[in-house]
């Protein structure tokens, strides 16, 4: 079964636009769980422009599904993750001022940095996941670093899917097979949507988890949050 983890950063962005507490990030997260989400993802950034440290602390004791914290492993992020102890940490190589993640790790160049982090987080009982592209060698280096899972960066798939779905999925199927043969779990995320999610799942049914934010929250404007989550889960049947 592929779990749906809802990334709630966009909810925090909307709240931050006015300075009050509307929409309430914690309430939305709990409602996502109530409506069937099997996980909640947050991506705290150093400038707290989306999710704040205080959100992370508020969410931790209340969530009943899997809590995934993703981000660049700065000293502040590492400290926060070790204090909060989410179920999973996903390491992303994005610069502090980046709008959104736009590549996976060069796991070969950063092998020793990542290996140390896998040990630190693994030792704290937190499942580790490294955000990677479809390059098989870099996936092998994620395994060498000791990652429990990788998260495939799916933006290239989402971009090509509308014009050539077969070509779009092909490198992801190869990468997903490599991940499986290396004994790691498999997550995927970035630009997944109601348009492209089902096809990805049909071709890679052994996906453990997808993490979806932007499109899901945008769809909720039209469909409502409950119906939207149901529709995304239908793609993962
Ligand atoms: N996975 C990672 C590692 C991300 O950085 C993001 C964006 O914050 C997502 C998944 C979700 O991407 P999207 O918002 O396009 O669904």
pLDDT recorded at residue 28: 98
Nearest to 154 by CA among 203, 89, 103: 103
Q: Which residues of the chain fall short of a pLDDT of 70?
A: 96-101
Instruction: Identify which of 8, 12, 149, 189 to mutate to test ligand 1's pocket (most ligand atoms within 8 A of the CB).
Output: 189
Q: What are the tens digits of pLDDT across the range 44-102? A: 998 899 999 999 999 999 999 999 999 999 999 999 999 999 999 999 998 766 666 68
Ligand 1: centre distance to CA 101 (Å): 7
Residues labelled as active-site residues: 43, 70, 190
Q: Where are the domains of the chain?
A: 3-235
Nearest to 163 by CA among 190, 195, 210: 195
Task: Please give all residues whose beta carbon lies within 6 A of any atom in ligand 1, as ranges.
Answer: 7, 9, 43, 70, 90, 92, 100-101, 131, 151, 189-192, 211-215
What's the mean pLDDT when you consider all of the chain?
Answer: 96
Helices (H) and strands (E) in the chain — how many of each? 11, 8
CA 136 to chain centre: 20
Q: Whose CA is nearest to atom 9 of ligand 1?
A: 190
CA distance 182 to 23: 42
pTM for the full model? 0.97
Helix (H, G, I), strand (E, B) or coil at 154: coil
Helix (H, G, I), strand (E, B) or coil at 59: helix
pLDDT recorded at residue 231: 98
CATH classification number, 3-235, choose in 3.40.190.10, 1.20.1090.10, 3.20.20.70, 3.40.605.10: 3.20.20.70
Ligand 1: centre distance to CA 103 (Å): 11
- Ligand 1 nearest-atom number relative to CA 43: 8
Ligand 1: centre distance to CA 192 (Å): 9
CA distance 23 to 28: 7
């Amino acid at each position: 079964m592929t779990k749906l983890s809802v990334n709630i950063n966009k909810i925090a962005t909307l709240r931050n636009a006015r300075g009050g507490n509307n929409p309430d990030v914690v309430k939305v997260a709990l409602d996502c769980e109530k409506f069937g989400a099997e996980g909640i993802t947050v991506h705290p950034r150093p400038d707290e422009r989306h999710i704040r440290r205080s959100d992370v602390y508020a969410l931790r004791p209340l969530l009943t599904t899997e809590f995934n914290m993703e981000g660049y492993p700065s000293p502040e992020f590492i400290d926060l993750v070790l204090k909060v102890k989410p179920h999973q940490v996903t390491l992303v190589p994005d610069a502090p001022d980046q709008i959104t993640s736009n590549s996976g790790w060069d796991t070969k160049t950063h092998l020793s940095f990542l290996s140390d982090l896998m040990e630190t987080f693994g030792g704290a009982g937190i499942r580790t996941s490294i955000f990677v592209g479809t390059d098989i060698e870099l996936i092998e280096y994620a395994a060498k670093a000791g990652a429990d899972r990788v998260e495939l960066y799916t933006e290239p798939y989402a971009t090509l899917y509308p014009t050539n779905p077969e070509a779009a999925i092909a490198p992801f199927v190869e990468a997903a097979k490599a991940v499986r043969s290396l004994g790691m779990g498999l997550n995927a995320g970035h630009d997944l949507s109601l348009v492209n999610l089902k096809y990805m799942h049909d071709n890679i049914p052994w996906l453990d988890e997808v993490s979806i934010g932007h499109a899901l929250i945008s769809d909720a404007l039209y469909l409502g949050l409950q119906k939207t989550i149901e529709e995304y889960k239908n793609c993962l049947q």
